[in-house]
């Protein structure tokens, strides 16, 4: 399959969405989603109706792949056999872009969620080496994502310094998640706008936007289970103004509303992308 790159406004492809998406496409000539994103860990190795569902959509829409289990920051050896499978999977579905979290999700076994890497020089070197090896095996550039976190293990630098250093040393691309910037700014008391300003525009490959759950005044849990809030839309608008327009997708992992509501949020991304910077306006979706 020819490799396809993402453009415009996208949506996270989840098993729970296949039914609503099929129903939408039965009733409408088109679907206002420019591209989809999948986690290889949820689809790779799946046959039967799962493979058939995915195939129908990858034949019709461009997809990007967003990894969950690679554990770029982990201390066990990189899972190279898995990366070879990822490469075949990306080739089979014509997926040009592969991203992963700047994080780790395993010790001597998988824990299936993200833990914060201590921000140290040694960690930068370690992650850099693993990014380069990953790119070599999957035969594509890897985009790393700035992740949300709730506790910061002792380190030598700030999150921003760590992120910039890895981007530079690995000479890799960035999956920019503005919701994660907002979450971390609240959780760790830093300024979201200046964090965003310091991001090197030329490294941005694509972006994520999502909703979250504010548990306390100074604690947000990055659930991807709610609608995107205004301050995050504003941050997204600011990102387009400062760094230029780039492809962005809405992540929604549970607590799914009717598809129409998700499509309104996708349309909101598209409006921000289309608006000239001076007249761009923010507000809730729809």
Residue with tokens 């997204």: 236
Burial code (b: 16+ CB inside 10 Å, e: under 16) for 198-226 equals: ebeeebbbbbbbbbbeeeeeeebebbbbe
CB closer to another protein out of 117 and 248: 117
| Range 272-281 contact pairs with CB under 8 angstroms and sequence separation of 24 or more | 272/233, 272/236, 272/237, 272/240, 273/8, 273/9, 273/240, 273/245, 273/248, 275/237, 277/240, 277/241, 280/237, 280/240, 280/241
Structure tokens at 261: 């509501």
The reply to whether 264 sits near another protein by the rule CB under 8 A is: no
- Select 186 or 272, whichever has its Cβ closest to another protein: 186
Q: How far is 104 from 63, CA to CA, in rounded Å?
A: 24
Give residue for tokens 């490959």: 205
Q: By C-beta, is 41 or 91 nearer to another protein? A: 41
Smallest gap from residue 59 Cβ to another protein (A): 16
Our CB check for another protein shows the closer of 148 and 237 to be: 148
Among 47, 129, 130, 46, smallest CA distance to 83 is for 130
Selected range binding another protein among 36-44, 54-62, 177-185, 204-212, rule: CB under 8 A: 36-44
What is the per-residue burial (b if ≥16 Cβ within 10 Å, else e) of 133-172?
A: ebbebbebbbbbbbbbbeeeeebebebbebbbbbbeebeb
Q: With CB under 8 A as the contact rule, which of the stretches 147-155, 168-176, 192-200, 204-212 interacts with another protein?
A: 147-155
**Does residue 256 belong to the site contacting another protein (CB under 8 A)?**
no
Interface pick for another protein out of 26, 27, 109, 281 (rule CB under 8 A)? 109
Nearest Cα to 12, choosing from 208, 228, 234? 208
Of positions 24, 82, 190, 256, contacts another protein by CB under 8 A = 82
44 interacts with another protein by CB under 8 A: yes
Considering only 94-102, 120-128, 168-176, 191-199, which stretch makes contact with another protein by CB under 8 A? 120-128
* Distance separating alpha carbons of residues 58 and 95, to the nearest angstrom: 9
**162 or 246: CB nearest another protein:** 162
Of residues 194 through 233, those in contact with another protein by CB under 8 A are 219, 221
Cβ(176)–Cβ(210) below 8 Å: no
Query: Which residue in 31, 96, 132, 150 binds another protein (CB under 8 A)?
Result: 150
Does 120 help bind another protein (rule: CB under 8 A)? yes
Q: How far is the CB of 74 from another protein (least distance, A)?
A: 8
Residues 47-66: x where in contact with another protein by CB under 8 A, - otherwise, as a string: xxxxxx--------------
For helices 178-188 and 230-243, angle between their N-to-C axes, nearest 10 degrees: 120
Q: Which residue in the block uniquely carries the two structure tokens 């088109």? A: 30
Is 130 among the residues that bind another protein (CB under 8 A)?
no
- 29 interacts with another protein by CB under 8 A: no
Return residues touching another protein (CB under 8 A). 39, 41-42, 44-52, 68-70, 73-75, 79, 82, 104, 106-113, 115-118, 120, 122-123, 126, 150-155, 219, 221
């Amino acid at each position: 399959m020819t490799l396809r790159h993402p453009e415009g406004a996208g949506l996270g492809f989840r098993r729970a969405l296949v039914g609503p998406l099929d129903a939408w496409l039965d009733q409408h000539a088109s679907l206002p989603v420019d591209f989809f994103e999948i986690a290889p860990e949820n689809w790779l190795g799946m046959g039967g109706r799962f493979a058939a569902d995915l195939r129908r959509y990858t034949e019709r829409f461009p997809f990007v792949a967003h990894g969950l289990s690679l554990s770029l920051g982990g201390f066990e050896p990189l899972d190279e056999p898995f990366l070879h499978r990822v490469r075949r999977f990306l080739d089979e579905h014509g997926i040009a872009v592969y991203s992963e979290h700047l994080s780790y999700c395993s010790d001597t076994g998988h824990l299936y969620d993200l833990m914060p890497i201590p921000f140290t020089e040694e960690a930068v070197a370690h992650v850099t080496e693993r990014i380069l090896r990953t790119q070599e095996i999957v035969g594509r550039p890897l985009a790393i994502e700035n992740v949300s976190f709730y506790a910061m293990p002792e380190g030598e630098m700030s999150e921003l310094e760590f992120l910039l250093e890895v981007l530079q040393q690995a000479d890799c691309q960035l999956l920019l998640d503005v919701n994660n910037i907002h979450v971390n700014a609240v959780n760790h008391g830093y300024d979201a706008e200046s964090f965003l300003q310091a991001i090197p525009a030329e490294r941005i490959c694509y972006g994520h936007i999502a909703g979250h759950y504010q548990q306390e005044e100074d604690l947000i849990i990055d659930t991807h289970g709610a609608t995107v809030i205004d301050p995050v839309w504003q941050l997204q608008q600011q990102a387009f103004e400062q760094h230029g327009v780039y492809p962005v997708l809405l992540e929604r992992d549970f607590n799914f509303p009717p598809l129409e509501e998700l499509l309104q949020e996708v349309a909101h991304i598209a409006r921000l992308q289309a608006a000239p910077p001076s007249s761009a306006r923010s507000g809730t979706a729809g």
